[in-house]
Amino acid sequence: MKKLKLTAIILAMSLSAVSAFSCSDKTSSSSNAEISYIDPNQPVQQDPTKYSGNANKTNSAFGQEIEVNNTVFTLNSVVRIPNNETNNDYIYINATIKNNTDIEYEISSLNNFFMALPDGTEISSDVRTKLYALQNLPKCIDDYITIPANGEFTGFLAGGFVVPSGTDSFTVGFFPTLDNEINKSEVILSPVSAENISTDDSVLK
């Protein structure tokens, strides 16, 4: 009888250990995925050829007003905020977008904007910059912006970019999609150099 009881106890302990290991493994996987998603040490990078694809590219100098697809776009200013803890910089852009149609439409940092580094690597708008802006930079506008019919928007976008510390040249890309968010047949490319980048974040506060 004692032997049977001992066997039952060992079996119960084994099942408990397996169950605990399974739960621990699930928790660990979930945690790792979450940490990986907001890894503060690496900017999110994508296919370097994504934006160039089949889109018709129009170059625009920094601060130049240019019209493509009934949309007038101007890259007004760029602010860099160093993040010394992660060795990355947060980049925020100020743009003017004029809608020359009779239909209002919505744009977003993630869908309509990207950044290309000197090696051609494309970086999408990063959730970390948005969270930081919403907590610390009240003059930044949230991700989704309505451009009124025959109207315009000017402002800093909360959905900025995360780049390696000290990055001082890149290209800002804008897709003038109008009211069809998947229409990326046109892209406006605005090169940015060191003299165009400000480190005065007071304009965002």
The whole-number average pLDDT for the span 20-38 is 33
> Would you say residue 194 lies in a domain?
yes
Report the pLDDT value the prediction gives residue 90, as an integer from 0 to 100. Answer: 97
The answer to whether residue 76 sits within a structural domain is yes
The domain of 21 spans 1-37
How many structural domains comprise the chain? 2
Q: Within this chain, do residues 67 and 6 fall inside the same structural domain, yes or no? A: no
Tens of pLDDT, residue by residue over 157-177, are 999 999 999 999 999 999 999
CATH number of residue 185's parent domain: 2.60.40.1240
Q: List, in order, residues 6 or more apart from 33 with CB less than 8 Å away.
A: none
Residues 107, 111, 201, 64, CA torsion sign: negative
**Same domain membership, residue 126 and residue 31:** no
CA-to-CA separations, 107 to 69, 71, 89, in angstroms, rounded: 14, 12, 24
Same domain, 87 and 155: yes
pLDDT in tens, 113-149: 999 998 888 899 999 999 999 999 999 998 899 999 9
- Is 43 part of a structural domain of the chain? no
Please report which helix (H) or strand (E) contains residue 185, including its range: none
Q: Is residue 80 part of a domain?
A: yes
Examine the domain organization and report whether 70 and 120 are in the same domain. Answer: yes
- 29 and 94 fall within a common domain: no
Contact 158, 91 (CB under 8 A): no
Determine, yes or no, domain membership for 73. Answer: yes
Same domain flag for 26 and 62: no
Task: Give domain status of residue 45, yes or no.
Answer: no
pLDDT value of position 50: 58
Longest Cα–Cα distance in the chain: 90
Is the pLDDT reported for residue 16 higher than 90? no
Quick: pLDDT tens for 67-103: 999 999 999 999 999 988 889 999 999 999 999 999 9
Q: What average pLDDT does range 30-38 have in this prediction?
A: 30
